[in-house]
Chains A and B, each alone.
Chain A
Amino acid sequence: MTNELNLDREAHDRMTASTRRGAHKTRANTIVKATDHATPLELSNITIHYGGGKGGAEAVNVVDDFNMTLHAGEMHCVAGRSGSGKTSILTVGAGLTLPTSGRVFWEGDSLETMGDDEIADRRRALIGYVDQGGALIDGMSALENVLLPAVPDGEVEQRRDMAKDLLDLVGLGRRMRHRPAQLSGGERQRVAIARALILGTRVLVVDEPTASLDRAAANRIISILKDTTSDGIAVLVASHDHELVRQSDTLTELI
């Protein structure tokens, strides 16, 4: 069933999809590059509405009938203007929020059939999520932040060297004992990426990694992300950074 869906999805990705959001028409232009990687993450007919609850607020259609397949070693960028639903797609893909309708597949398994605990366990093994700004935990050093994902499995000590290596990899080996308040925005982002990779993640979901960074810092982040794909890690990134868009393998532009 998954293969069939993938075929459908590929066909669908090749064409321009039209979506409705309120009274306005929007388009999602998807540029597809040929790939034969596996599909660790797939979004099918995702629709996300906000509001329209008991409070009487008008419902807003953020995303309508969105489809995407992310293959291993591929970097897919979701671009678009602010408020176009980039972060919503990322959180849905990471299993942090539920779509209004549609299905999310992790390595072919639908999230619909999973409980909260199973989603958490699968997310830990599969997905590394990097929030906008890094979302580091205050009061903990960069190294401790990187090790936090290992806490649920009790592997903090086992992964300590790996965490240091990852911090070295992102260029922060000498600042591992500094706390978030002592780090710059780019440094926090890099710590967050290291943290996302600590458990051998197969999908990296990154939200606006280069926002409010200078070009040099942004390029460094892009370079790190690009390097991860060479290790077979799929990267789903939301950004409107042209350089990032340019270097991504596939692109969905939300209009």
Chain B
Amino acid sequence: MNAVQRFIRSRVLLLTASILIVAMCLSVLVQGQSQAALNRTVDQNSRGLYDVLVQAKADDNGGLMQPDIATGQGGVSFEQLDSIRKLSGTSVAAPISLVSRVTQNLESPRLDATDYLGFNAGLAGTSGDPTATDPSKWPAAESVLSDTPKKYRLTASAVSSDGHSDQTLFKTTAEGSVGKAKLIQEQVAGGQNVRIQGPEGETGIKFPTPAGGSEHNLFNLSVSLPMAPQVTESVVAVDPVSERALLGTAGDFLAPLEKAPPADARNAGAIGRHFESLFTNGISMDELKEGPDFLGVKLKYWAPLMTQYQQAKRDGQLTADSQAIPLIVRSGTAVDLKYSVKIEEIDDSGNVTNDVGTVTRSLDKDYLPFVSKSPFALAWPGSKDLSQLMGDTGSFSQGLYNPATWSTNFAAAPAYKDGETAANGAVDKSASPGDWVTVNRLPDKAANGAAVDQTQRNPVDERSYRENLETGKKLATPLAMVYGTFDAASVKDAAGDVNRLPLGGYDPAPFTLTKDASGTDVNTELKPSLSATGLVSQSAGAITDYYGLAAARGYEQNASVIDAVRVRAKVPGSWKQAQPEVEKLANEIRDMGLQATVVAGSAREDASIAVPGYSKDDAGKESPLGTVQQSWVRQDAADAVSGSLTATNLTLLFLTLCGAALLTGASTVSYIRKRRSEAGTLRAMGWTQRRIRSWVLAEFGVGAALLAVAGIALSLISWSTATAVVSASVLVLYAGAAFVAAQQLRHREVVDQDPQHDERLIAVDSPLTFANRQLSANKFNTISLAVAVGVFAAAVGGLVALLIDIPRAAGASALSGLAAASIAFPSVILAVSGVAVGLLLTMVTGRFELQAKRQYLGTLRAMGWNPDMLGQVRFFENAMVGTVALPLGVVGALGIGLLLAPYAALWAAIAGLVAVLCWIPIATKVVQ
């Protein structure tokens, strides 16, 4: 029988070689796959919309970048922008700046109650609209109001929330009597006049100025409510052409801005007069609906522009230098603002006789900055808006009665101070608040010029987290000209989460309150306040171009007003492929004296921020907010993630190799036991020790050859150092085992007739002592099995640690989470294979004595030991092995947990403990 035949016949060797080859293939394959998956994920996600962020030279703030880079402080000139664009490696260079903070008063809120309909029958001609409902089909006259005026009390209030606590902005009450109006026909010179008149005795409901009281009109009794709260917005400037190139199709909303007139054609007075003339000379229904054409753009919101122009002109705000600023405005708002009106019917003594109801409306998705679309038009309970019966009237929202106030009292992003850095890379920071700002003030004068009753609103002190900005020359009041809208959520979705690197710009990173001021855990997403300077800001209210910035700030055209330039390198491909060219481009930009941060390869990471002095109560006492979490940007996260997860992979690989080593050892011992008698026979036949050794090594040689072939093949296929190292390690292990086996088969003289029994041993008088004696008598097997069980338990602990903490083990950034998720499966396979090897190890070592165990259990049975006692023997034997294995398993699991995922180490240790405890009954059952 030659060596190959003997190798095949020796199932232990064949099994060991097979397992080692499988383990080698699996380890290499899984390691290679997971590394490839990791690289793919990192590459795909760490190269965002742009590669390099260019700012004015400043101190490097380390590896964690705050998300809002556009500060309004500028520092980059247009000449430098041009230079960047001319670099051969530049594909897109998109500038961005924070322009201004804009405060506006919303259109006056109103409360409508359906009034007469029927009287319009005689006035159908006034519509002249063929789309209108035929007057004969109009419903009968109706109203929620009574023929006889009743006395009502209206309480109007506005509440805003930052997501954590509510802020009542005002609460105002007015009383008066209102009733159903009547149609009055009067004979006047030349014919009859029809007018609408309230019922006799009606006093109307009048809130303080400038709320205009109540009046009956064509369809409604309309009650003018107190002024809505003041809202501030931020405006950013971009170059629409390069911004579209940067954003791709998600930037199409900027197309109208590209058609805005040049700076010398933006005189506010000229443009205002143009629209005034349109209104004076008449405008077609189509133009009313879609907006008149203005240099190739349909200006849907021309009416607010015209009315604001008229108001500003009347107030004397506009000067000859005033310019119209083209804006793409955000649709909807993240500001949580509710306007409520409570309606109560009261008697002459002021007592409530009937609670009519409360109507509420929020400033939500219909809201448009600069173009308020009746955000707070409320309906009297029970009334219906039937104005559509008149058909398409081409009605437009009049918009704000006052032009917005443009201010530069905002600027730099919140200042943070670094705190402790956690083990996973997360950083604790603290915010440094700026000055208090008072928001929600009323304008001094109403639209008609009358003084405004300031009791309508409660001014609110909010903490500003930004600083004032130095501007150019004295600002000439600009005129907002809305060119279009954009949906912040759509832009955000298009850019993606990881790709929002790192510039907030018009899409600031959200804040989540994680601990309140008392330290209690909460999980509340914070909402922006009324002020644009607060801790949490909403997406930019409007986007303009750099001419708009110059007009709003009063800068000359070539001032260094660019906050940042986002540069995309021309080189295509993944981050790893593009990295050299991107680094080269960044260095070229740095040579211009600018700060160039390579943001490709970076990722989002949460920073915990302690926020002190956040709010102020009526007594002026300041209170902290608590701890908030915001997504910052971890620079070079891709490299860190690759390194971290590669280390995890290598650790798992190492552990699998350790398991394979133990398995090899165990199988070798088994082999030696089986072959010892054969070796004795051969020796008796005259074989020398050397020949017996060669005889053994030849069998191992067959296995080694197989392993070598497999290792070389795998190394060539994968072409990686790791594969070669793994293959070589396995081969060395196997060769070492072969050498030990050959040594162990040497001849031993065993002739000892002295009594061997030690009387100090515990007497065998129970299943427990019997089991103890058996384990003591077979120390080698007992320890081998205990080691195997310990390895199994440690492997189980490692698997649990991996499952629990794969994302955390890779770090704290969003990129790590993605990368970890992508390699989680292969890593788990690797860990499971480690557990399988451990299990196999216990089985192989457990089989050493399985036959002997079954034999002596049979002998005990023949002696009359009952099944229960035999079960106890089996259980105690395994329990004692488990006891020996327990420290190894638990400490091993703890160690592996600490290596793989320190945060899950305790769980790993517990899993190791449970694994040993579970093994005991299973092994007991197997022996049976």
B867 touching A117, Cβ below 8 Å: yes
* A contact residues around B776 at 8 Å (CB): 139
Which of B412-420, B479-487, B765-773 participates in binding chain A? B765-773
Indicate with 1 or 0, residue by residue over A99-122, a CB within 8 angstroms of chain B CB atoms: 000000000000000001100110
B774 within 8 A of A: yes
A135-B855, A148-B764, A156-B765 given; A141·B863 CB < 8 A: no
12 example contacts (A-B, Cβ-Cβ < 8 A) are as follows A120-B866, A120-B867, A139-B773, A144-B764, A149-B864, A151-B765, A152-B869, A154-B766, A156-B763, A178-B757, A182-B753, A182-B755
Indicate with 1 or 0, residue by residue over B863-879, a CB within 8 angstroms of chain A CB atoms: 11111110000000000
Within A147-182, the residues touching B (CB, 8 Å) are 147-149, 151-152, 154, 156-157, 175, 177-179, 182
A5 within 8 A of B: no
A199 within 8 A of B: yes
A121 touching B755, Cβ below 8 Å: no
A138 to B868, CA, bound (A): 22
B82 within 8 A of A: no
* B contact residues around A123 at 8 Å (CB): 862, 864
A178 touching B756, Cβ below 8 Å: yes
A117 touching B863, Cβ below 8 Å: no
Residue ranges of A at the interface with B (Cβ–Cβ < 8 Å): 94, 96, 116-117, 120-121, 123-125, 127, 129, 131, 135-141, 143-144, 147-149, 151-152, 154, 156-157, 175, 177-179, 182, 195, 199
B777 touching A138, Cβ below 8 Å: yes
* B contact residues around A120 at 8 Å (CB): 861, 864-867
Indicate with 1 or 0, residue by residue over B846-866, a CB within 8 angstroms of chain A CB atoms: 000000100110111111111
B866 touching A117, Cβ below 8 Å: yes
A245 to B863, CA, bound (A): 26
* A contact residues around B778 at 8 Å (CB): 139
A156-B765, A157-B765, A177-B757 given; A139·B863 CB < 8 A: no
B186 within 8 A of A: no
Most buried by B among A121, A138, A139: A139
Minimum CB–CB distance from B843 to chain A (whole Å) comes to 22
A178 touching B862, Cβ below 8 Å: no
Minimum CB–CB distance from A75 to chain B (whole Å) comes to 20
A179 touching B763, Cβ below 8 Å: no
A53 to B488, CA, bound (A): 74
A148 touching B863, Cβ below 8 Å: yes
B752 within 8 A of A: yes
CB-based nearest B residue for A118: B866
A199 interface neighbour in B861, B864, B869, Cβ under 8 Å: B864
CB-based nearest A residue for B862: A129
A152-B866, A177-B755 given; A140·B859 CB < 8 A: no
A221 to B589, CA, bound (A): 104
* B contact residues around A154 at 8 Å (CB): 765-766
A151 touching B861, Cβ below 8 Å: no
* CB < 8 Å A-B pair total: 98
CB-based nearest A residue for B766: A151
* B contact residues around A135 at 8 Å (CB): 855-856, 858-859, 862
B861 touching A117, Cβ below 8 Å: no
A141 to B755, CA, bound (A): 9
* B contact residues around A156 at 8 Å (CB): 763-765
Residue ranges of B at the interface with A (Cβ–Cβ < 8 Å): 752-753, 755-757, 759, 763-767, 770, 773-774, 776-778, 852, 855-856, 858-869
A116 interface neighbour in B752, B858, B867, Cβ under 8 Å: B867
A151 touching B770, Cβ below 8 Å: yes
B764 touching A94, Cβ below 8 Å: no
A255 to B763, CA, bound (A): 46
A156 to B866, CA, bound (A): 17
* A contact residues around B861 at 8 Å (CB): 96, 120
Most buried by A among B766, B860, B866: B866
CB-based nearest A residue for B759: A177
A137 to B775, CA, bound (A): 12
B865 interface neighbour in A151, A157, A177, Cβ under 8 Å: A151
Minimum CB–CB distance from B775 to chain A (whole Å) comes to 9
* A contact residues around B767 at 8 Å (CB): 151
A182 to B756, CA, bound (A): 8
A139-B774, A156-B763 given; A124·B752 CB < 8 A: no
A132 to B776, CA, bound (A): 26
A137 to B757, CA, bound (A): 13
A152 interface neighbour in B752, B757, B855, B865, Cβ under 8 Å: B865
* B contact residues around A143 at 8 Å (CB): 757
CB-based nearest A residue for B764: A144
A121 touching B859, Cβ below 8 Å: no
Q: List 8 extra interface pairs beyond A177-B759, A182-B756, CB under 8 A.
A: A120-B867, A139-B776, A139-B778, A141-B755, A151-B766, A152-B869, A175-B755, A182-B753
Minimum CB–CB distance from A183 to chain B (whole Å) comes to 10
Minimum CB–CB distance from B249 to chain A (whole Å) comes to 67
* A contact residues around B759 at 8 Å (CB): 177
Minimum CB–CB distance from A233 to chain B (whole Å) comes to 16
A140-B764, A151-B766 given; A121·B757 CB < 8 A: no
* A contact residues around B862 at 8 Å (CB): 94, 96, 123, 129, 131, 135
CB-based nearest A residue for B769: A151
A140-B764, A156-B763 given; A195·B863 CB < 8 A: yes
Most buried by A among B755, B756, B864: B864
A175 to B755, CA, bound (A): 7
B863 touching A124, Cβ below 8 Å: yes
Minimum CB–CB distance from A121 to chain B (whole Å) comes to 7
Minimum CB–CB distance from B488 to chain A (whole Å) comes to 70
Minimum CB–CB distance from A168 to chain B (whole Å) comes to 16
A117 to B871, CA, bound (A): 12
* B contact residues around A96 at 8 Å (CB): 858, 861-862
A178 touching B755, Cβ below 8 Å: yes
B777 interface neighbour in A116, A124, A127, A139, Cβ under 8 Å: A139
CB-based nearest B residue for A175: B755
Minimum CB–CB distance from B876 to chain A (whole Å) comes to 13
* B contact residues around A136 at 8 Å (CB): 859
A157 to B752, CA, bound (A): 29
CB-based nearest B residue for A156: B765
CB-based nearest A residue for B757: A141
* B contact residues around A178 at 8 Å (CB): 753, 755-757
